Amino acid sequence: MAEKVLMKGNIAIAKAAIDAGLDCYFAYPITPQNEIGEFMSKTMPELNKTYINAESELAAINMVIGACSTGKKAMTSSSSCAIALMQEAISAMATAEIPGVIISVMRSGPGLGHIIASQGDYFQATKGGGNGDYHTIVLAPSTIDEAVEFTHRVFYLSRKYKNPAMLLADGFLGQMMEPVELKKYDFGEVDSSDWELDGVGENENKRPPRKLVSLHMGGDDLIVLNNKLQKKYKEIEEKEVLYEEFMMNDAEIMITAFGTVARVAKSAILTLRQNGVKIGMIRPITLWPFPSEVVKKYSKQVKSILDVEMNEGQMALDVKASVETPVKIEILSKLGGDVIRARDIVNKVMEMNYVGIM
C-alpha cells in the first residue's frame, strides 16, 4: 500500500482529476469547493495544461463542452446555486452526446442559502434542472479515498457513454481531511477518434464533417435521437449501478443514505447492532443510475426502511419507487445545513418502536 497522506477532499479530487488525465479546467469560485480551483490555477499551467478563470458558471460549463467536443478531458467544479446555472448546458451536453465532468460540492439551499454542507442537491443532480429527457451519471463518494476513485471513474464513464457525469460531494467531504491514498485507477482509455472534432482534413484524408449539436429540428431527428439516448440510458442502468451493502444479511431495518450521511449512519448502525437491533444499510454510490434492484430485494426482507438525508428526503422518492412490497418507509431529514448525528438516527430507530435499545 502506498503511503497515506492527510489531505482535504477538495485537493484530493483535484489531484485525482489530474491523474485521470485532465487537459482543461474551467471554473468560477464558490464556497465550499474553492480549493479545487486554487490548486488547479497553480498546477495546470505547470503541467502545460489549460486553466481559465471563467467569467461565470455558464461560461465554465460551456468551455467544458467546447474542450470535450475535441476529445480532450475537461471539467468544471462548483456548488449548488452555481451548478443551477449550468443546467441548460448539461442538458445540451447530454443531447449533443459530448462527455464532460462536473464536480459538485453541495452547500445548503434553497437559493443562495449558506456555505455549510448539505445534501439538498440530490434532485438537481439526478433529476436535472435542465430540460428534456436526459440523465447525468452521478456518483456520490462518502470518503476521500472514494472521492479519488470516483473522480477517475466519472471521467471514464463520461467518455464511455459520451454523457455528462458528476461527482456529487458535500461541503463536509470537500473541506474535511483524512488520510488518503492517491491511487491511480486505470479504467482504460476510451477511444474518441470516431466522433471528436478535429477538422475534416483534406485530399485523401478528407472525411465527412462531424456535428455535435443539441438542436435537432429536421424531420424525425429529435425522435430518433431521444430513442437512441433512452437506449443508452437503459444500458447505463444495466451496467453501471454501484452501491455499498452494510450489515444487510439479517437486517430487519434497512437504512438508505448516501455520501457523508451514510458514514454517520454506519456509526449509528454499529451502536444499534451492539444493542441487538438487526439493522443494516444500502448506500447508493451511483445516485443515477439508482440501485433500484438491491433496494427492491431487501425491501422484501426488512420490516421497515429508514431513509436518512441532509435534505427533505429527496432520495426517498427513488427508494419508494424501487419498493414493490408494502413496507414502512420513514424519513429522517435535516435541512438547511443542520447536521445529522449518529444519536439522531439511533433515536429515530427507537421511535420506530424497536424496543430493547440503550
Partner 1 sequence: MSELCNQEKTVFSRPKTIKEDYDYTFCAGCGHGVVLRLVAECIDELNLQKDTIAVASVGCSICLEKYYDLDVVGSSHGRAPCVATGVKRAKPNKIVFTYQGDGDAATIGMNETIHTACRGENLTTICINNTNFGMTGGQASATSIIGQKTATTPLGRDPKLFGYPLKIAEMVAMCEGSCYVARCGVFNPKSIIQTKAAIKKAFENQIAKKGFSFVEVLCACPTGWKMSPVESMKFIENEITKTHKLGVFKDT
Partner 2 sequence: MTDKQTNIIVSGFGGQGVLFLGTILSHAAIIERKNTTWIPSYGAEMRGGSANCYVVISKEEIASPIFDEADLGIFLSKQAMEKFEDHIATGGLIIADSSRVGDIQTRSDIEYCEKPFNTLVLEQNKNLLLNIVVLGFVIKKTGILSKENVLVALKKVSEMKKPEFIDLNVKSFEFGYSLI
CA dist list (Å): 306 to 10, 70, 254: 30, 45, 6
* 256 lies in the site for partner 2, by CB under 8 A: no
* Contact between residue 92 and residue 61 where contact means Cβ atoms under 8 Å apart: no
Q: How far is the CB of 175 from partner 1 (least distance, A)?
A: 29
Give the one entry of partner 2, partner 1, none that residue 65 binds, where binding means its C-beta sits below a cut-off of 5 to 8 angstroms depending on kind. partner 1
Interacting residues with partner 1 between 44 and 63 (CB under 8 A): 50, 52, 54-56, 58-60, 62-63
Q: How far is the CB of 22 from partner 2 (least distance, A)?
A: 24
Report the relative pairing of strands 100-108 and 164-170 from DSSP bridges.
Answer: parallel
Q: How far is the CB of 253 from partner 2 (least distance, A)?
A: 17
For residue 195, how far is the Cα from the chain centroid?
Answer: 25
Q: Site for partner 2 (CB under 8 A): which residue of 264, 302, 305, 315?
A: 264
As a whole number of angstroms, the distance between CA 95 and CA 132 comes to 9
Which residue lies nearer to partner 1 by CB, 81 or 335?
A: 81
Give the one entry of partner 2, partner 1, none that residue 39 binds, where binding means its C-beta sits below a cut-off of 5 to 8 angstroms depending on kind. none
Give the one entry of partner 1, partner 2, none that residue 266 binds, where binding means its C-beta sits below a cut-off of 5 to 8 angstroms depending on kind. partner 2
Q: Which amino acid is at 191?
A: D
Q: How far is the CB of 355 from partner 2 (least distance, A)?
A: 22
Give the one entry of partner 1, partner 2, none that residue 50 binds, where binding means its C-beta sits below a cut-off of 5 to 8 angstroms depending on kind. partner 1
As a whole number of angstroms, the distance between CA 25 and CA 42 comes to 11
* 239 lies in the site for partner 2, by CB under 8 A: no
* Contact between residue 78 and residue 107 where contact means Cβ atoms under 8 Å apart: no
Q: Site for partner 1 (CB under 8 A): which residue of 27, 74, 277, 302?
A: 74
Peptide bond before 32: cis, by omega within 30 degrees of 0?
yes
90-129 mask for partner 2 (x: CB under 8 A)? -------------------------xx-------------
As a whole number of angstroms, the distance between CA 254 and CA 256 comes to 6
Query: Burial of 184 by CB count in 10 Å (0-12 exposed, 13-18 middle, 19+ buried)?
Result: exposed
Q: Site for partner 1 (CB under 8 A): which residue of 103, 212, 305, 310?
A: 212
Give the one entry of partner 2, partner 1, none that residue 6 binds, where binding means its C-beta sits below a cut-off of 5 to 8 angstroms depending on kind. partner 2
Q: Site for partner 1 (CB under 8 A): which residue of 22, 67, 125, 261?
A: 67
* 171 lies in the site for partner 2, by CB under 8 A: yes
Give the one entry of partner 2, partner 1, none that residue 59 binds, where binding means its C-beta sits below a cut-off of 5 to 8 angstroms depending on kind. partner 1
Query: Burial of 355 by CB count in 10 Å (0-12 exposed, 13-18 middle, 19+ buried)?
Result: exposed
End-to-end CA distance of the chain: 39
Give the one entry of partner 2, partner 1, none that residue 87 binds, where binding means its C-beta sits below a cut-off of 5 to 8 angstroms depending on kind. none
Which residue lies nearer to partner 2 by CB, 135 or 266?
A: 266
Which residue lies nearer to partner 1 by CB, 23 or 38?
A: 23
As a whole number of angstroms, the distance between CA 326 and CA 135 comes to 29
As a whole number of angstroms, the distance between CA 109 and CA 270 comes to 31
Q: Site for partner 1 (CB under 8 A): which residue of 14, 18, 96, 316?
A: 96
* Count, residues near partner 2 per rule CB under 8 A: 26
* Contact between residue 113 and residue 335 where contact means Cβ atoms under 8 Å apart: no
- The helix/strand/coil state of 221 is helix
Query: Burial of 329 by CB count in 10 Å (0-12 exposed, 13-18 middle, 19+ buried)?
Result: middle
- The helix/strand/coil state of 265 is helix
* 102 lies in the site for partner 1, by CB under 8 A: no
* 176 lies in the site for partner 2, by CB under 8 A: yes
CA dist list (Å): 311 to 81, 231, 254, 288, 335: 15, 31, 19, 17, 5
* 31 lies in the site for partner 2, by CB under 8 A: yes
- The values of phi and psi at residue 55, to 5°, are -75, -15
Binding interface with partner 1 (CB under 8 A):
23-24, 26, 50, 52, 54-56, 58-60, 62-70, 72, 74, 88-89, 92, 96, 98, 197-202, 205-206, 209-215, 217
